[in-house]
Structure 1
Amino acid sequence: MKVTLVTVGKIKEKFYTDAIAEYAKRLSRYCKLEILQVADEKTPDKASEAEEQQIKEKEGKRILEQIKDGAFVIALAIDGKMLDSVELAEKINKLGIGGVSQLVFVIGGSLGLSEAVLNRADYRLSFSKMTFPHQLMRVILLEQIYRSYRIIHKEPYHK
């Protein structure tokens, strides 16, 4: 299966890039991983709701341009369904068995995802009701995808 992360903004801190590289290396045993970054929009201080909406729409358009037809899209959204690690592994496994060849995870920018991206998503996943920096979320997501593949292959992984 091909697993793609479509993310908004660049990673600036080396410790994040190192962690992402480590999980990408570990995942190479299980899937073909692709990480696509789209440009983020600068959000002015005290931006109006309309300005924030425009920013999300611009970022959303860039995200949607990266998603191929036929891909199964999982959007990370605060209002999504919360799964434990075993449930996420089961979801990924069922999608693969069901013939899904490309799984796309979408991580929005600091303002979240546009309605167009959320509407394109086949599934909304939430890691918590808390908000995380989107750079850190990439690491957390990759770790959970790696953990899922370890579970799917019945390999040990710390709990």
Structure 2
Amino acid sequence: MYSFKKMTQHQAENIASSWHYNDEYSFYDMDADEEDLVEFLDPKQRGESMFVVMNSQEIIGYFCFNRIDKETIDIGLGMKPNLTGGGKGVEFLKAGLNFAKLTYNPDQITLSVATFNLRAIKVYKKVGFEEVQTFMQTTNGDCFEFLRMIYKCKNELNSAFQ
């Protein structure tokens, strides 16, 4: 069972300084992009949207929930580096989606993922995200291709009655 708690400054600093991913996934290290790092470490910019995910007393990841409009929440997420690739991604993502649905009651949830991250895309598709479009984004000192994906929350209710 996971619990979600608003991220503290200490937790943000710890994640930014000690979470380092291997190989091409180092793209997701907080210090890989100065703008992202500043935003992550600034309590005002984090606001009320950033949550740590706890399993007992250990932080296993984080989610960021940003309301785009009345119907849409956009999420960003990260899992503790030593837990990635171990088959826990679906469970972790489902916990985040459930939290978003209970907290924000969106019709849909969106996210963007670097297209090279096939491992994450597989997890997103497994829980029901669909591909929307690819786009180029400047980050980490270069321009990279990303995939926008969407998860329709209301379809779950409709399919239960069919």
Would you call these one fold, judging by a TM-score over 0.5?
A: no
Q: TM-score, length-normalised on structure 2?
A: 0.31
Q: TM-score, length-normalised on structure 1?
A: 0.31
Q: Which structure shows the higher strand fraction?
A: 2
